[in-house]
């Protein structure tokens, strides 16, 4: 997965000229308006870097294409038969599941990019300025969520091309919103890793160790009914399974409420726990 670009370039003019009445470094002294202004300026900066380095979007473009084609055409026939149909039946099953993967893979990217910004000195510059410390992290998440929405749009386009049938547009929009919410919660975990670990390779390695069991020990790619009992138990408590099943129910029909509430619970809990940790680590990192 490509890492986010880093730069030691100066901040954009809106950030330097932010009309904040208070110019102190303590977050508590910066008003809400100042936090919002700083966040918007940093979002603009990050978007400008994507514009200058379009290669940073390759993962968001290629990941949904490669995984959709890979799973549909390699596993679609055999798994589709177990679902009572064929490849077409599997397309209806796997595309909502792949939406659950999108947030986790984008979250790993924000962790590695954040770590590279620290090692290149960009974050030292930010922390020397009278801006809200949380603004830097919120801006990172906002831009990654935009990248995630782009990747989701690519996934749905490819899904339609290989036969995915969108029958419930309201359910589709709800599924996208649910995926974005869960993805933002995961990003706080990887931002914490990006702050605390020594280099981007360590963040990637840790992300890989977390991603693989969660992704393949879930209902994203195949129904868990044929799995061993111990793995089915793990799948039942896997938040990616809850998100995939909720998206599946919203988009193609089926039970929704149980998995929807579990996904919302996971999202709120992860954000409530990890967001303060990430901001604290960012403030105190030496």
Q: What is the pTM of this model?
A: 0.83
- State the pLDDT at residue 28: 53
Q: Is residue 73 part of a domain?
A: no
Residue that wins the pLDDT comparison between 54 and 94: 94
3-state secondary structure of 265: helix
Q: Give burial (CB, 10 Å; 0-12/13-18/19+) of 10.
A: exposed
| Tokens standing for residue 256 | 């929704």
In the chain, DSSP assigns E strands to none
pLDDT digits (tens, 9 = 90+) for 266-285: 999 999 999 999 988 888 87
pLDDT digits (tens, 9 = 90+) for 57-74: 888 899 999 999 999 998
State the Cα–Cα distance between residues 250 and 273, nearest whole angstrom.
28
Among 136, 90, 109, 66, which residue's Cα sits nearest to residue 211? 109
pLDDT digits (tens, 9 = 90+) for 210-235: 888 888 899 999 898 888 989 999 99
Q: Is residue 83 part of a domain?
A: no
Half-sphere exposure of 193 (CA within 13 A, CB side): 23
Q: Is residue 114 part of a domain?
A: yes
Q: DSSP string spanning 13-52?
A: HHHHT---S---S-GGGS-HHHHHHHHHHHHHHHHHHHHH
State the Cα–Cα distance between residues 243 and 175, nearest whole angstrom.
9
Q: Is residue 186 part of a domain?
A: yes
3-state secondary structure of 266: helix
Q: What's the domain range around 39? A: 29-66+94-284
Q: State in Å, rounded, how far the first CA of the chain is from the last one.
A: 28
Q: Is residue 9 part of a domain?
A: no
Q: Is residue 82 part of a domain?
A: no
Q: Is residue 213 part of a domain?
A: yes
Q: DSSP string spanning 224-263?
A: GGGS-HHHHHHHHH-HHHHHHHHHHHHHH-S--HHHHHHH
When divided into structural domains, the chain yields a total of 1
Q: Is residue 280 part of a domain?
A: yes
Report CA dihedral (263, 268, 274, 276) to the nearest 10 degrees: 170
Lowest mean pLDDT segment, chosen from 105-109, 138-142, 237-241: 105-109
């Amino acid at each position: 997965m490509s890492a986010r670009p880093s730069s030691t370039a100066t901040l954009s003019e809106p950030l330097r000229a932010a009309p904040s009445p208070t110019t102190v470094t303590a977050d508590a002294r910066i008003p809400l308006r100042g936090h919002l202004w700083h966040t918007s300026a940093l979002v603009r900066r990050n978007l400008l870097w994507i514009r200058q380095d379009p290669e940073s979007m390759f993962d968001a473009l290629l990941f949904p294409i490669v995984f959709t084609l890979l799973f549909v055409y390699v596993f679609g026939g055999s798994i589709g038969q177990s679902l009572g149909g064929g490849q077409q039946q599997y397309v209806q099953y796997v595309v909502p599941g792949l939406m659950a993967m999108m947030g986790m893979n984008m979250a790993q990217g924000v962790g590695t990019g954040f770590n590279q910004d620290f090692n290149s000195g960009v974050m030292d510059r930010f922390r020397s300025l009278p801006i809200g410390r949380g603004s830097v992290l919120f801006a990172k998440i906002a831009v990654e969520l935009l990248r995630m929405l782009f990747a989701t749009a690519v996934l749905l386009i490819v899904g339609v091309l290989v036969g995915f049938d969108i029958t419930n547009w309201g359910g589709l929009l709800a599924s996208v919103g649910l995926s974005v919410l869960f993805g933002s919660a995961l990003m706080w975990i990887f931002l914490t890793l990006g702050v605390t670990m020594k280099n981007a390779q360590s963040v990637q390695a840790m992300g890989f160790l977390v991603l693989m069991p969660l992704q393949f020990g879930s209902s994203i790619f195949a129904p868990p009914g044929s799995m061993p009992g111990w793995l089915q138990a793990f799948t039942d408590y896997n938040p990616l399974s809850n998100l995939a099943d909720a998206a599946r129910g919203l988009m193609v029909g089926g039970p929704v409420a149980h998995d929807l509430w579990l996904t919302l619970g996971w999202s709120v809990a992860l954000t409530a726990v990890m967001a303060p940790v990430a901001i604290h680590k960012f403030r105190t990192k030496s």
